[in-house]
Amino acid sequence: MIAIVISVCLLSDPGVCRDETIPLASEVSAVRCMFTAPRHLAQWSEEHPEWRVVRWRCGPTGRRDI
């Protein structure tokens, strides 16, 4: 299964960063993930205004590296 893996940092303390995973439906391909990621990233950012997305990628779920 493909997911969007994002690295985010706290706006109030940019030294505090973490990785988040946005799982996608099982039938979503890596190419489709790349096309739909901006919409998911915008939604995640709206729901988490205290965090800033610093990088993202599409990859298999369960991977923790970026």
Q: SS3 letters for the chain?
A: CEEEEEEEEECCCCCCEEEEEEECCCCCCHHHHHHHHHHHHHHHHHHCCCEEEEEEEEEECCCCCC
Q: Is the pLDDT of residue 61 over 80?
A: no
pLDDT value, residue 64 = 52
Domain assignment of residue 65, yes or no? no
| Within a domain: 18 | yes
Decide if 15 is inside a domain.
yes
CA angle 32, 9, 26 (to 5 degrees): 25
Cβ atoms of 18 and 66 closer than 8 Å: no
Question: Looking at the predicted structure, is the pLDDT value of residue 62 above 80?
Answer: no
Q: Is residue 66 part of a domain?
A: no
**pLDDT tens-digit readout, 15-50:** 999 999 999 988 889 899 999 999 999 999 999 999
What is the structure's pLDDT at 1?
85
Q: Is residue 39 part of a domain?
A: yes
Q: Which residue has the higher pLDDT, 22 or 65?
A: 22
Total structural domains within the chain: 1
Q: What is the mean pLDDT of residues 52-59?
A: 95
- Domain limits at 32? 2-60
